[in-house]
Amino acid sequence: MFRALLPARHLLPARRPPLPRRNLAARAAAGEGLPLGRRLAVVAAAGAAAAAAWLYLREEKGRRQRARRQAELRALALGQGDFRLLDQEGRPRRKADFRGQWVLLYFGFTHCPDICPEELEKLSRAVELLEREPGLPPLQPLFITVDPQRDDVAAMKRYVRDFHPRLLGLTGSPEEVRAAADAYRVYASTGPKDEDGDYIVDHTVLIYLLGPDGLFLDYYGRSKTDAQIAQSVRRHMETYEPLLD
């Protein structure tokens, strides 16, 4: 009854307000209205840009880490000075003889029951792995005794022939050997003799990597494999910068 009394315009359904139109730029950025091929191209380009940014940040982080490591090694500068020793053929050898060469260096002794042979075998295998890669500079394996009382030239010659054919074994007087060990902060202490006069030498068990300037660049403990050592040496060769001007 009341509907009949109302004007006709009041009987029409209420209009809904128009829906807001999305900004055209936003729609274009989202890829709406573009063919499928172009939308895929937009997504691919965005992914490539993100990947490039991630690679740049990773490389920049690596560069900063290398620079920090370089500064630490420069401050440490292990291996400065010189040493004068004899190789297994009785020829005089100085540290300066190895300048310009990459060197893997191990300090040990020929009467060592197990650790020294294991480490020298690992060192030899790492050198062999790198020798298979063309374009890399040669790597000189080097063994310096910490037991000059027993490890004379003849003993070193007998011992090193069981390892890499280019391995050099160096010995000298106790004072000369100590000077070489001190240059790389190698610890060595002779233990008590047993009833047969035999003894063990407690010493640092590390393989040292020396750069072409003769200074310490890295070291590898017993947990490192030959493959891991070779990979690390390769990386150092590829990114090498002299520590001292």
Q: What is the DSSP string of 175-212?
A: HHHHHHHHHTT--EEE----TTS---EEE---EEEE-T
Residues of the chain with pLDDT under 50: 1-6, 8-11, 24, 75
Cα separation of 106 and 207, whole Å? 5
pLDDT at 4 (0 to 100): 47
pLDDT in tens, 69-103: 555 555 455 556 678 999 999 999 998 899 999 99
Between the two ends of the chain, the Cα-to-Cα distance in Å is 106
Q: pLDDT > 70: what percent of the chain?
A: 73
Regarding pTM above 0.85, the answer is no
Cα separation of 73 and 18, whole Å? 70
Within a 13 Å sphere around the CA of 221, how many CA atoms are in the beta-carbon half? 1
Compute, in degrees rounded to 10, the torsion defined by CA atoms 227, 233, 220, 102: 130
